[in-house]
Chains A and B, each alone.
Chain A
Amino acid sequence: MFYKVLDGVKVIEFGHLISGPFCAKILADLGAEVIKIEDPCGDEARKQEPFLGGVAGLERSGLFLYLNMNKKVITLNPETETGRRIFTQLLSNADIFVENNSQKKMKHLKFTYTQVKKINPRIIMTSITPFGQTGPYKDYKGGELVMTEMGGVGFLSTRELDTSRAPIKYPAHLFSHQAGLSAAVATLGALLYHHGTNSGEQLDISEQECVIPDVMNPVYSYSYTKRIASRAGPLSVAPHHLLPCKDGYIHNGFVREEHWRKFVDEVMGHPAWADKEIFKDYQTRAKHWDELKPLILEWTMPRTVDEIYRTSQEHRIPIGAVYSPEQVLQDRQMAARGFFVEIDSHVTGNLKYPGVPYIFSDIPKEAPTAAPTLGQNNEEIYCTRLGYTKSDLVKMEEAGII
């Protein structure tokens, strides 16, 4: 864990890939005990790139390692009768049950909320699906690409001057993670509410609805003017672009004319061309961008991202440092906050990971534990906790129960 906030809270995770496991990770990071139930073949995420050393393997997926740190992991096949009994036993002792399976699958396994509620009326069952438990698309499949487009945010990206090019999704699985976070927030709200009572509930989290909040300006804009926002919408105060420099790119997110003036005067040292009529305001600069761009690049190219970033920011100018992953890892700000953490494991050796984006002032920060190997906690959970013997484990494994 990172912080002992949810001491004593017990979570069962029956998740795969990203949204369910990330929701459960957030709870584990905050000190809840999370037991992740994996199919005997392992969570699909174990097969996702990037792999350690570029070599695939069940214990080598960077995505899996990140999503499943701080958890315990057991293998279980709930389609078997013994598997069902074990699953039921685990649920009966849990406060929270996180799952991101299709409704069809949960119905087939006979672990719908109605059934789970009978096992444990206090439980909070957080169910994450692409489109929610109700509505015409409730059985539709999702995934990052589909959710991005169906959430309305996909259509708006990336900024193009030519909309004959397709919209481009965001990097990696950004929105799948956002769904997991949103689910964790709702779960903790429910946990607080039901604390000390004998009641629980099911949370119906739709991944589409977790993407929708990102579409903000276009909605109220449409409300008032019926204007439909597009990727080819007007660029803001020119030059509002990504500009190459010596070791990467900077972004000038100038919002006001004074930002441009300060940048040109205080940061660039007022080059002669700065006084030209054709560059006097946002409109003229946008119109004459082809002439302006090389002049700016003449200045940026000999300078590094950090040089330009720090000088501009010291003058309160909104320049962004378009950090590559390498540069993010070297960022002095994230280092000062201790954002990246190192976790050692006998399988991966010492690896650096993104940590948690928050700091608790009055709770000591703990050392996170590495994602377990497949079935790593079988003995602990089945034998020590549930009373099975070691030879039971062998038989169950042979029979495909675990």
Chain B
Amino acid sequence: MGIAYLKGTRVIACTWGWAGSWAGSILADMGAEVIKVESRRKLDNNRWHFKLGVTGGVNSGEFNFTNRGTKSITLNMRKPGAVKIFKELTKISDVIITNYTPRVMPSWGLGYDVLKAVKPDIILVSLPGFGSSGPNKDYVAYGPTIQAASGMTFSHGHVGEGPILAGANPADPAGGMWGVLGVVAALNYRARTGLGQNVDVAQSEGITAYLPELIMEYTMNRTISPRMGNRDEIMAPHSIYPCKGKDKWVAIAVGTDEEWDVLCQVAGKPDLSKDERFADQYSRWQNQDQLDKLISDWTKDFTHYEIMNMLQKAGVAAGASLNVEELINDPHVKERGVYIEQNHPEAGKSIVFRSPWTSALTAANPPAPCLGQHNDYVFKTLLRMSDSEITKLTEEEIIY
């Protein structure tokens, strides 16, 4: 691991917000050179959201987190001169990734057909909320609206109660990862055939693809699955139990009768394993309400880490419900090098995390770019523009 899979691959990122930006960051973690096209005319709204402790420049914690490892140029894409430069950059690039609303790039005269004419084997991966085709393609797509349409929101909630808002937005990281899949799949295809591709990924479908049980229950049986809270179809105990302290919880999932016996031993209640109400998985599942009360009576006197470690060491699945501080400082997470501290020239020190697999590269990758930080590198070095050309383009607010 830590090999630069995509070394030598150049990606143009027309991205904003979380999903598209993070896809660019993952590609940078894989060794690609990712150039994000920005403009002062309309900043990625993450640059001004959530400013938090950032004192310099146009930056924010969120931007730095999601654009780690990428480069930035400023190009005012409304101007024909900028579109011309974009095409020149396309000629020397391998991939363009975008999560703009579908009408945007074509409105600049940069639809896939045009890009293909400029560079026949270009790979364009589009990552809109609902897809680049279809009647709802230009619908406003934030995490919650995407999740709602995917079917996730409806099924999320306590047993016997209505749907409830999640506290995080899985649509964005899922969408980002499906987007990267589109890139690596198309790169593999190109390596074998020499052909480019436009891969269009719908973020909403990306979440539905994670929830087959809900769909299949309906397609097979015309039944809408009830909200399950923390419960399972058959495992019991299977829930989240209160521990010592405020808002401290541990998840426990017992899959077999053997594991149940082990839990009873660990809890110092060997008689419980002989209790008829809980003697086999079906009985435990049927008597969950009573079972959960008994388990809670035990867990509440221990910390969540204590319960987790006691049970796991004995072979039972348990996990502390980690808040962000605990997550960053968890001994396992620390040893795996998931989080690293980065120093950003304008935004100062912050914690970022690596992609789910590479380790060495993330540490070596620079923090997120300042606005237009790589203008010189891209326009002068890569595109070989002269100083006077660049001055003129800046005056005309094309480089802007």
Real binding pair: yes
Chain A contact residues, CB within 8 Å of chain B: 5-8, 26, 30, 48-54, 62-63, 65-67, 131-132, 134-137, 140-143, 145-160, 163, 165-174, 177-178, 181-182, 184-186, 188-193, 195, 201, 203-206, 208-210, 212-226, 228-231, 233, 240-242, 244, 248-251, 253, 255, 313, 316-329, 331-334, 336-337, 339, 351-354, 356-363
Contact A359 B199 (CB under 8 A): yes
Which residues of the partner chain B approach A356 to less than 8 Å between Cβ atoms?
A: 205, 209
Whether A166 contacts B61 in the complex (CB less than 8 A), given A30-B185, A215-B327, A328-B208, comes out as no
Shortest distance in angstroms between B225's beta carbon and chain A's nearest beta carbon? 7
Contact A354 B351 (CB under 8 A): no
Q: Of B74-82, B162-170, B371-379, B384-392, which stretch is located at the interface?
A: B162-170
Contact with A along B135-160 (1 / 0, CB 8 A): 11101101111111111111111100
Which residues of the partner chain B approach A62 to less than 8 Å between Cβ atoms?
A: 212-213, 215-217, 219-220
Q: Kindly state whether residue B40 has any CB partner on chain A within 8 Å.
A: no
Chain A at the B interface: mostly helix, strand, loop or mixed? mixed
Contact B188 A221 (CB under 8 A): no
Q: Kindly state whether residue B229 has any CB partner on chain A within 8 Å.
A: yes
Contact B216 A357 (CB under 8 A): no
Q: Kindly state whether residue B323 has any CB partner on chain A within 8 Å.
A: yes
Which residues of the partner chain A approach B155 to less than 8 Å between Cβ atoms?
A: 171-172, 325
Which residues of the partner chain A approach B147 to less than 8 Å between Cβ atoms?
A: 320
Tell me, in angstroms, the Cα distance from A209 to B220 when the chains sit together. 33
Which residues of the partner chain A approach B194 to less than 8 Å between Cβ atoms?
A: none
Tell me, in angstroms, the Cα distance from A212 to B355 when the chains sit together. 9
**Given known contacts A206-B336, A209-B357, A329-B218, what 10 new A-B pairs fall within 8 Å (CB)?**
A136-B331, A145-B240, A156-B167, A158-B157, A181-B177, A182-B177, A223-B53, A242-B153, A328-B215, A353-B216
Contact B18 A216 (CB under 8 A): yes
Whether A317 contacts B140 in the complex (CB less than 8 A), given A191-B188, A325-B155, comes out as yes
Which residues of the partner chain B approach A171 to less than 8 Å between Cβ atoms?
A: 152, 155-156, 211, 214, 225, 227-228
> Within the complex, which residue of B199, B247, B325 is in contact with A222, where a contact is CB–CB below 8 Å?
B325
Contact B142 A318 (CB under 8 A): yes
Shortest distance in angstroms between B150's beta carbon and chain A's nearest beta carbon? 7
Tell me, in angstroms, the Cα distance from A376 to B202 when the chains sit together. 34
Tell me, in angstroms, the Cα distance from A166 to B188 when the chains sit together. 44
Contact A140 B349 (CB under 8 A): no
Tell me, in angstroms, the Cα distance from A332 to B144 when the chains sit together. 19
Tell me, in angstroms, the Cα distance from A242 to B153 when the chains sit together. 9
Which residues of the partner chain B approach A215 to less than 8 Å between Cβ atoms?
A: 168, 324, 327
Tell me, in angstroms, the Cα distance from A134 to B66 when the chains sit together. 27
Contact B233 A48 (CB under 8 A): yes
Whether A230 contacts B61 in the complex (CB less than 8 A), given A49-B213, A325-B151, comes out as no
Shortest distance in angstroms between A174's beta carbon and chain B's nearest beta carbon? 5
- 18 examples of A-B residue contacts, CB within 8 angstroms: A52-B220, A67-B212, A135-B332, A167-B249, A173-B213, A189-B5, A192-B187, A205-B357, A215-B327, A216-B65, A221-B50, A222-B351, A241-B165, A318-B140, A323-B148, A324-B224, A336-B135, A351-B219
Which residues of the partner chain A approach B188 to less than 8 Å between Cβ atoms?
A: 5-6, 188, 191-192, 195
> Within the complex, which residue of A149, A249, A316, A358 is in contact with B251, where a contact is CB–CB below 8 Å?
A149
Q: Kindly state whether residue B318 has any CB partner on chain A within 8 Å.
A: yes
- Interface size for chain B: under 10, 10 to 19, 20 to 34, or 35 or more residues? 35 or more
Which residues of the partner chain A approach B35 to less than 8 Å between Cβ atoms?
A: none
Contact B247 A185 (CB under 8 A): no
Contact B142 A222 (CB under 8 A): no
Chain B contact residues, CB within 8 Å of chain A: 1, 3-6, 18, 22, 26, 30, 50, 52-54, 61-62, 64-66, 112, 130-131, 133-137, 139-140, 142-158, 162-170, 172-174, 176-178, 180-182, 184-189, 191-192, 195-221, 223-225, 227-230, 232-233, 238-242, 246-247, 249-251, 253, 255, 312, 315-328, 331-333, 335-336, 338-339, 348-353, 355-357
Q: B212's closest neighbor in chain A, by CB?
A: A66
Contact B215 A242 (CB under 8 A): no
Tell me, in angstroms, the Cα distance from A308 to B395 when the chains sit together. 46
> Within the complex, which residue of B323, B328, B350 is in contact with A230, where a contact is CB–CB below 8 Å?
B323
Contact B317 A142 (CB under 8 A): yes
Contact A220 B224 (CB under 8 A): no
> Within the complex, which residue of B149, B202, B317, B319 is in contact with A337, where a contact is CB–CB below 8 Å?
B202
Contact B356 A182 (CB under 8 A): yes
Contact B162 A192 (CB under 8 A): no
Contact B215 A353 (CB under 8 A): yes
Contact B61 A143 (CB under 8 A): no
Tell me, in angstroms, the Cα distance from A162 to B204 when the chains sit together. 30
Contact B199 A195 (CB under 8 A): no
Contact A135 B336 (CB under 8 A): yes
Shortest distance in angstroms between A313's beta carbon and chain B's nearest beta carbon? 5
Contact A132 B336 (CB under 8 A): yes
Contact A229 B324 (CB under 8 A): yes
Shortest distance in angstroms between B297's beta carbon and chain A's nearest beta carbon? 15
Choose among A151, A190, A332, A333 the residue with the greatest number of B CB atoms under 10 Å from its CB: A333
